[in-house]
Structure 1
Amino acid sequence: MKIKQLEIFAIDLPLVEPFIVSYDTYPSMPSIIVKLTTECGLVGWGESVPDDHVTGETFEGTYAVIKDRLAPKLIGANPMEFEKIHELMDKLVKDAPAAKAAIDIACFDVTGKKLGVPVYQLIGGRYHEKFPVTHVLSIGEPEKMAREAEERVGEGYRSFKMKVGRDVASDVARIQAVRERVGIDIAIRVDVNQGWKNSGNTLQALQALQGAGLDWLEQPVVADDIDAMVEIKSKTTVPVMIDEGLCGVRDMREIIAKRAADKVNIKLMKCGGIYPAMKLAAMAEMAGMECQIGSMLESSVGSSAGFHVAFSKKVMTSVELTGPLKFSKDIGDLKASYKIPFIELGAGKGLGVKVDEGILAELTQYSDVVKG
């Protein structure tokens, strides 16, 4: 099996409401979709959602890397040879993980379809039967976040990820408001997205939140300050998770060596796709750290890829892949798999996602085709 053609689509996914994190507000979510076609006529779908705050990749630059650097050299390659595919991409471009993720995901999708199995059967087989779905609360006023949390509990949600990171005082008020509204039996995970900057601010916040019963605290300090994570971990009983501070193998080696986290958030867009994500999960497992699969708010394509990784590994204890629930229009049908409060992944071939090419065309801003 050889790659015959790669089509690249720049799309804009409409959100039900703006997604607000510490460093930006997203009224909609730009995404790059890749359609890989083989000489035997099989199609694999991939997705790239770059984030210049996290991976250092702009949307325009990522599109150009896929179109001009990666795609032309992949024509004629065997998409089933994942190690060779990544070796080739790494020789062509240093880093650029979100760009490589789109190719990686498309290769896994088409390989699963060729062999007639779900992607999770290619990477260890299915381990988990279902995962709880965590609702993500965008940054807002305390009362607004508390009201939304209360409404979601009424819909069946049992866990929340709270986006904070504006300043310690207002963030503490947000967290306390949500906890007071939903009660102590509901799980609350706090994601600061680097917004508290340093260990001093973070420890001040944790002291004020001693009675809040947090599941864990995610990336409170700037991404490259691993030593601050070490200090925070040594001075609190709240489990700490690294997200933006973990992109690839080099980061993971330092995190393990310094025992800088209890948990790690692996995202396909940060590490380069399914194949590199499995390597990071294996490293974390050997170090005794739990893993989560997170996302940059991908469509059904990228979200499904993340779920296949999560469902195949024992070390994966949580997922936060909520893109299909937050989009008012999606190119795929993964939303049907969310059975609140759980996600139940099907057994379809490849990613198991049916892409609606009519909606894809409707959301496309511009596109290109690379042929052999």
Structure 2
Amino acid sequence: MKIKSIEINCIELPLIEPFIVSYATYPNMPSIIVKMTTECGLVGWGEAVPDEHVTGETLEGTYAVLQHTLAPALIGENPMNFEQLHQMMDNLIYSAPAAKAAIDIACFDVTGKKLQVPAYQLTGGRYHKKFPITHVLSIAEPQAMADEAARRVEMGYRSFKMKVGRDVASDVARIKAVRERVGDEIAIRVDVNQGWVNSSTTMQALRELEKIGLDWLEQPVRADDIDGMVEIKEKTTIPMMIDEGVRGVCEMREIIAKRAADKVNIKLMKSGGIYPAMKLAHMAEMAGIECQIGSMVESSVGSAAGFHVAFSKKVFTSVELTGPLKFSKDIGNLHYDVPFIELTEKPGLGVDVDEVVLAELTTIKCVVN
């Protein structure tokens, strides 16, 4: 099996409502969808959702890297040779993880279809039966976040990830408002997205939050401040999760050596796809660190890829892949049985892409062959 052509589509996924985090507000979610076709006629789908604050890539730059650097070099290669393909891509360009993830995901999809097995059979086989879905609360006023949480509890959700990171006082008010509204039985995870900047500011917040009963606090300090995470972890009983601070093997090695986190949030867009994400999971497992699969608010394609990784490893104890639930229109048909997700036995990613919708959402397109 050889790669015959790679089609690259830059799209705008329409959000039901704006997605707001500490560093940006997204009215719609830009994404790049890759269609990989082999000489035997099989098609694999991949996705890149770059973010300047997380992956260090822009949408325009990622599109250019795919069009001019990665895709041309991979024509004629066997998509089943994951290790070799990643080495080729690494030799061509340093970093660029979201661009590489798009290629990687498409390779796993088309390989699964070739072998007639789900992608999770290529990464260890099925371990988890299902995962509960955590609803993500965008930054808003405390009362608005509490009201939305209450509505979601009525829909069956039992856990929330709260986006904060504006300032300590207002963030603490947001967290307290949600906890008071939903009660003590609902799980609350808080994601600061680097918004509290350093350990001293974070400790101000934690003095107010110690008794609220948080599942964990995620990335309160700047991504490269591993020592700051070490200091915070030593001074609080709230479990600490690193997200933006872990991208590849180098960061994971430092986190393990310094015992800088209780949990790590592995994202395919940060690590470069399914294959390198599994390497990070193996490292974390050997160090006794729990993992979560997170996302950059991806379509059914990228979200399904993340789920296949999470379902195949026991070290993954939570998932945060809710992009398709946030879109008014999606290119794929990943199915959620809220508040759970259960994968099918369909080969590859198990996602059918509606190419009519894809064409409708596409703003620019090219084909490399």
TM-score (norm 1): 0.99
Query: For residue 19 of structure 2, what is the amino acid of its counterpart?
Result: F
The answer for the alignment partner of 2:163 in structure 1 is: 163
The answer for the alignment partner of 1:263 in structure 2 is: 263
Alignment of 1:56-71 (within 5 A): 56-71=56-71
Counterpart CA distance in 1 for 2:174 and 2:245 is 24
SS of 2:222 mapped into structure 1: coil
Match of 2:354 among 352, 356, 369: 356
Deviation at 1:113, TM superposition (A): 0.1
What whole-Å deviation, never above 9, does each CA across 1:257-283 have from its counterpart, x for those lacking one?
Answer: 000000000000000000000000000
Say if 2:309 is the partner of 1:312: no
Q: Give the unaligned 5+ runs of structure 1.
A: none
The answer for the alignment partner of 2:91 in structure 1 is: 91
SS of 2:223 mapped into structure 1: coil
Query: For residue 342 of structure 2, what is the amino acid of its counterpart?
Result: E
The answer for the alignment partner of 2:187 in structure 1 is: 187
What whole-Å deviation, never above 9, does each CA across 1:29-61 have from its counterpart, x for those lacking one?
Answer: 000000000000000000000001111100000
SS of 1:46 mapped into structure 2: strand
Q: Is the 8 A contact 2:210 2:237 kept in 1?
A: no
Match of 1:339 among 337, 344, 351: 337
The answer for the alignment partner of 1:280 in structure 2 is: 280
Deviation at 1:197, TM superposition (A): 0.5
Counterpart CA distance in 1 for 2:242 and 2:207 is 20
Deviation at 1:19, TM superposition (A): 0.2
Deviation at 1:168, TM superposition (A): 0.3
The CA RMSD measured in Å over matched residues stands at 0.4
Give the number of aligned pairs: 369
SS of 1:188 mapped into structure 2: strand
Counterpart CA distance in 1 for 2:336 and 2:215 is 22
Match of 1:368 among 357, 360, 366: 366
Say if 2:147 is the partner of 1:147: yes
The answer for the alignment partner of 1:76 in structure 2 is: 76
TM-score (norm 2): 1.00
Q: Is the 8 A contact 2:210 2:236 kept in 1?
A: no
SS of 1:354 mapped into structure 2: coil
Deviation at 1:109, TM superposition (A): 0.1
Say if 2:97 is the partner of 1:109: no
What whole-Å deviation, never above 9, does each CA across 1:276-331 have from its counterpart, x for those lacking one?
Answer: 00000000000000000000000000000000000000000000000000000000
Deviation at 1:134, TM superposition (A): 0.2
Query: For residue 366 of structure 2, what is the amino acid of its counterpart?
Result: D
Counterpart CA distance in 2 for 1:249 and 1:316 is 17
Counterpart CA distance in 1 for 2:223 and 2:298 is 22
Counterpart CA distance in 2 for 1:328 and 1:44 is 24
Deviation at 1:340, TM superposition (A): 1.5
Query: For residue 89 of structure 1, what is the amino acid of its counterpart?
Result: M
SS of 2:224 mapped into structure 1: coil
Say if 2:176 is the partner of 1:176: yes
Counterpart CA distance in 2 for 1:156 and 1:289 is 29
The answer for the alignment partner of 2:227 in structure 1 is: 227
Deviation at 1:338, TM superposition (A): 1.2
Counterpart CA distance in 2 for 1:209 and 1:8 is 45
Query: For residue 213 of structure 1, what is the amino acid of its counterpart?
Result: G
Moved over 6 A (4+): none
Counterpart CA distance in 1 for 2:72 and 2:12 is 25
SS of 2:236 mapped into structure 1: coil
What whole-Å deviation, never above 9, does each CA across 1:191-235 have from its counterpart, x for those lacking one?
Answer: 000000011111110111122100000000000000000000000
SS of 2:217 mapped into structure 1: strand
Counterpart CA distance in 1 for 2:179 and 2:311 is 29
Alignment of 1:178-217 (within 5 A): 178-217=178-217
Counterpart CA distance in 2 for 1:10 and 1:190 is 31
Alignment of 1:1-150 (within 5 A): 1-150=1-150
Counterpart CA distance in 2 for 1:153 and 1:324 is 19
Query: For residue 46 of structure 1, what is the amino acid of its counterpart?
Result: G
SS of 1:292 mapped into structure 2: strand
Query: For residue 90 of structure 2, what is the amino acid of its counterpart?
Result: D
Deviation at 1:83, TM superposition (A): 0.4
SS of 1:338 mapped into structure 2: coil
Q: Is the 8 A contact 2:199 2:229 kept in 1?
A: yes
Counterpart CA distance in 2 for 1:96 and 1:112 is 25
SS of 1:318 mapped into structure 2: strand
Counterpart CA distance in 2 for 1:71 and 1:208 is 50
Q: Percent identity?
A: 78
SS of 1:30 mapped into structure 2: strand
What whole-Å deviation, never above 9, does each CA across 1:151-197 have from its counterpart, x for those lacking one?
Answer: 00000000000000000000000000000000000000000000000
Query: For residue 201 of structure 1, what is the amino acid of its counterpart?
Result: T
